[in-house]
Amino acid sequence: MTVSHILGYPRIGAQRELKKATEAYWKGDISRGDLEATGQALRLSHWQIQQNAGLDFISVGDFAFYDQVLNVSVMLGAVPARFNAQHEVSAGNVDLDTAFRMARGRAPSGTPAVACEMTKYFDTNYHYLVPELHEGQTFTLASDRLFNEVDEALQAGFTPKVTLTGPLTWLWLGKAKGSEFDRLSLLDSVVDVYSEILARLATQGIEWVQLDEPALVQDLPLAWQQAYERAYHRLQSAPLKLLVATYFGALGDNLSLTTRLPVAGLHIDAVRAPGQVESVIDRLSPHQVLSIGLVDGRNIWRADLAALRERLLPLKVRLGQRLWLAPSCSLLHVPVDLSQETELDSELVGWLAFARQKLDEVVTLARLIDNRTTPIDEQRVSEATYALDKRRESTRIHQPAVSSRLAAITPQESQRQSPYAARAATQRRALALPLFPTTTIGSFPQTDEIRAARRAFKAGELSQTDYEARMREEIAFVVERQQALGLDVPVHGEAERNDMVEYFGEQLEGFAFTRFGWVQSYGSRCVKPPIIFGDVTRPVPMTVKWSEYAQSLTDKPMKGMLTGPVTILQWSFVRDDQPRATTCRQIALALRDEVLDLEKAGIRIIQIDEPALREGLPLRQHEWQDYLAWAVESFQLSAAGVKDSTQIHTHMCYSEFNDIIGAIAALDADVITIETSRSDMELLDAFQDFAYPNEIGPGVYDIHTPNIPDVAWMVALMEKALEKIPAERLWVNPDCGLKTRGWAEVEPALANMVEAANQLRQRY
């Protein structure tokens, strides 16, 4: 029989129960006991769902109140000293509030301390807490949570497989603190604790433990490759079976090292890397299990069961009992349950599968290749085939005008008329800006009243006319404040936007929105990415009336504000029936029309935000060039149609720029504003080293804190910037948009910022 399993299930709950409970606990509205009870109820219900679906194992260890990587850090006793938890660590029992303090700096009990750093998990939008590693650090088993969850599952009568981040991936995700040292020097002590964990799990009666090692799909230094063999040879002695899980890409040059690991099974991603399946099977030893991930764990499309059956049959012949089936990765990265989407039209629903539905797909596939189908399996296959045939032909997806426009793109369309130097001269004349022009990144505080107005409009309680009047009032207020502050390039404030991607997706054709399609982003935070299902077009202008109105209130050049094609792509679920590059170009052309309409309406400065450009980088370096080429081309396509005198800005945040500085220069934006204040302008080094030719606004005001930056501090930051970039090419602006801040902070902060620019002008 083919074993069906999953690598992990979403923990937030179909109604985001976990989010609500943890936030209520942090606020003091519910007790620790209530929170634990919610966690337990969610686990039990998720296990029940998995068992009812017919999976051979239910997944234990994928639950976390905040983050699964943090769970492992806590379990290894890797709690930084500032959290004062030495006693808890040595007692083998790190408190939940200690874990929350590591994640968010504070918790209902314990002294606040600086939270651990958080960053994106591989190429997903899920953020994990970065393990802090110190030279000579030792580890010790410091939490019973996992074992308790195993007991809970066993007592409820389930057959668990335990999942845990593997020791090397955990170290790989960690960051050396204090003095630089080789993280691998800690491996032996880490593996000691893993051995202890595995031994404990074995005594509990666990047969299989899945160790997630997605680091194996990245470029690893030789020492890390060798460490894999060493570590797993030591873990091999555990009296249970290990399944090493890899996902998000191909094993590539780590292929033979991975297949040689002395473990009972491997999991590979056959969605992202379909080509590797046969070569992995060739190298597998005769008793090893291979779990093949053919159901997409990163996207929301329904699986083509009939086609997958054909793909699997020859593999089944080769592997027999050793074939396991699973989604490509943990289902953490997709929404929970499609059956809640009662407001999506039924045709579209027919094309989709969320986590709950993907369980059925895996189980049915296993029964299909075993020839033990039930009527329900037959029905699932025929429904999938029918829906996907429809999808292939649907006129909602394929618009001939879009493909012919794409096919007709000429190289000139992605180039501005003149090179930057010539444009800069024209713009200087046209815009008459002072040295060190001041501006903001686009959004102003999103007050409760603004949110309430948007909500009332959506709910039909506020008429279109009243809503627009309300938004114009807000724009007038924001413009007036900026005039009073003396900002050189004002913005309209983005009051009408709930989210920088959703706002555009809702107005573009080819996008769909779910009601409950939440995916965990970090901790209790969830996002609801749009679904790009069809060719993208822009039926009518999206931002022009707001920008035009804002411009009518001032003689200063009003900056129009758009989200760039790569960011829209990156923060959506994307079609799987054409390359990402194609979808990105389609979005780019829609934005190009918007840019040109803004220009026609008299907007002389247009900003196209691309905060997600860097996070789109593929996991393997040899794929970077191809990605950057189409990403850059897409940005250019959206921007380059304007006259020389129209100034194009772009904005990027939470980025290191070293890897992509060439691509940033190739965007050829006239001005780029970036987040730099927290790095003390160090992020500008990449621009200096590259001799970046265009204008830069290095953020001088960290918008992530409520602190009001003082004038001298901002001047000092600009002085640092001036060591790297000439004055004629520098702008003065905050790090990012101000929507999460309040007016009480924003006004004095911007007043100081304008004053800093004035002082600089006197000196240069």
- The residues that are catalytic are 704
Is 292 a residue that touches Zn ion (CB under 5 A)? no
Binding segment for Zn ion among 401-409, 570-578, 683-691, 729-737 (CB under 5 A)? 729-737
The reply on whether position 453 binds Zn ion by CB under 5 A is: no
Q: Name which of 427 and 443 has its Cβ closer to ligand GLN.
A: 443
Which DSSP state fits 734?
A: -
Closest CA to 158 of 267, 61, 266: 61
Distance between CA atoms of residues 83 and 89, nearest Å: 11
739 touches, from ligand GLN, Zn ion, none (C-beta below 5 to 8 Å by class) = ligand GLN
Q: Which is nearer to ligand GLN, 205 or 706 (CB)?
A: 706
**Which partner, ligand GLN, Zn ion, none, binds residue 302 by CB below 5 to 8 Å per kind?**
none
Nearer to Zn ion, 210 or 673 (CB): 673
**Distance between CA atoms of residues 212 and 219, nearest Å:** 17
**Residue 675 assigned to a binding site:** yes
Is 526 marked within a binding site? yes
Helix H or strand E segment including 155: helix 145-155
Q: From residue 446, how far is each of 334, 707, 739 by CA, in Å?
A: 28, 18, 5
Instruction: Give, as ranges, the residues between 649 and 688 that touch Zn ion (CB under 5 A).
Output: 653
DSSP code string of 252-269: GGGHHHHHTSSSSEEEEE
Q: Which residue has the tokens 């005039």?
A: 483
Stretch binding Zn ion (CB under 5 A), from 32-40, 113-121, 548-556, 732-740: 732-740
- Residue ranges with strand state E in 619-756: 647-652, 671-674, 695-698
Alpha-carbon span 275 to 297, nearest angstrom: 17
Count of positions on this chain that bind Zn ion (CB under 5 A): 3
For Zn ion, the closer of residues 327 and 611 by Cβ is 611
Q: Which is nearer to Zn ion, 266 or 736 (CB)?
A: 736
Q: Which is nearest to 166 in space by CA: 296, 294, 283, 263? A: 263
Q: Which residues of 699-710 are buried (b: 16+ CB within 10 A; e: fewer)?
A: bbbbbeeeebbe
Least distance CB 612 / ligand GLN (angstroms):
8
The neighbour count for residue 182, using CB atoms within 10 Å, is 10
Instruction: Give the residue with the Cβ less far from ligand GLN, 214 or 493.
Output: 493
Q: Which partner, ligand GLN, Zn ion, none, binds residue 443 by CB below 5 to 8 Å per kind?
A: ligand GLN
Burial class (CB in 10 A: 0-12, 13-18, 19+), 486: middle
Nearer to ligand GLN, 500 or 746 (CB): 500
CA-to-CA distance for 349 and 343, rounded, in angstroms?
9
Q: Identify whether the C-beta of residue 147 lies closer than 8 Å to the C-beta of residue 204.
A: yes
Query: Rounded to an integer, what distance in angstroms lies between the CA atom of residue 115 and that of residue 451?
Result: 29
Shortest Å distance, C-beta 610 to ligand GLN? 9
Residue 397 sits at the vertex; the CA angle it makes with 395 and 400, to the nearest 5 degrees, is 70
Q: How far is the CB of 440 from Zn ion (least distance, A)?
A: 11
Q: Is 615 annotated as a binding residue?
A: yes
Please report how close the Cβ of residue 440 comes to ligand GLN at its closest, in angstroms: 7
With CB atoms as reference, the residue minimizing the distance to ligand GLN is: 737
CB of 585 to ligand GLN, least distance (A): 22
DSSP 112: -
Beta bridge partners of 160: 58
Interface residues toward ligand GLN, by CB under 6 A: 441-443, 494, 500, 561, 609, 611, 651, 653, 736-737, 739
| β-pair partners for 438 | 732
- CB of 653: closest distance to ligand GLN in angstroms? 5
Cα angle at 760 between 758 and 762, to 5 degrees? 75
Rounded least distance, CB 651 to Zn ion, Å: 6
Runs of H (alpha helix) within 647-742: 661-667, 685-689, 711-722
Structure tokens at 425: 């001269």
Q: Which does 442 bind (CB under 5 to 8 A by kind): Zn ion, ligand GLN, none?
A: ligand GLN
**Using CA atoms, how far apart are residues 614 and 660, in angstroms rounded to an integer?**
7
* C-beta atoms surrounding 501 within 10 Å: 22
Residues 570-629 binding Zn ion (CB under 5 A) are: 611
For residue 112, what are the contacts with CB-CB under 8 A and spacing of at least 6? 101, 105, 106
Is 200 within any annotated ligand binding site?
Answer: no
- Binding status of residue 94 toward Zn ion by CB under 5 A: no
Q: Is 442 annotated as contributing to ligand binding?
A: yes
Which of 164, 736, 738, 749 is in the footprint of Zn ion by CB under 5 A? 736
Check binding of 566 to Zn ion (CB under 5 A).
no
Q: Is 528 annotated as a binding residue?
A: no
Q: From the CB of 432, what's the least distance to ligand GLN, in Å? A: 24
Asked if residue 565 lies in contact with residue 638, where contact means CB atoms within 8 angstroms, the answer is: yes
493: amino acid identity, one letter: G
Smallest gap from residue 737 Cβ to Zn ion (A): 6
- Nearer to ligand GLN by C-beta: 147 or 731? 731
Which is closer to ligand GLN, CB of 55 or CB of 441? 441
Dist CA 98 CA 113 (whole Å): 10
Site of interaction with Zn ion (CB under 5 A): 611, 653, 736
Provide the annotated binding site: 16-19, 120, 441-443, 494, 525-526, 571, 609, 615, 651, 653, 675, 736
Provide the annotated binding site for Zn(2+): 651, 653, 675, 736
Provide the annotated binding site for 5-methyltetrahydropteroyltri-L-glutamate: 16-19, 120, 525-526, 571, 615
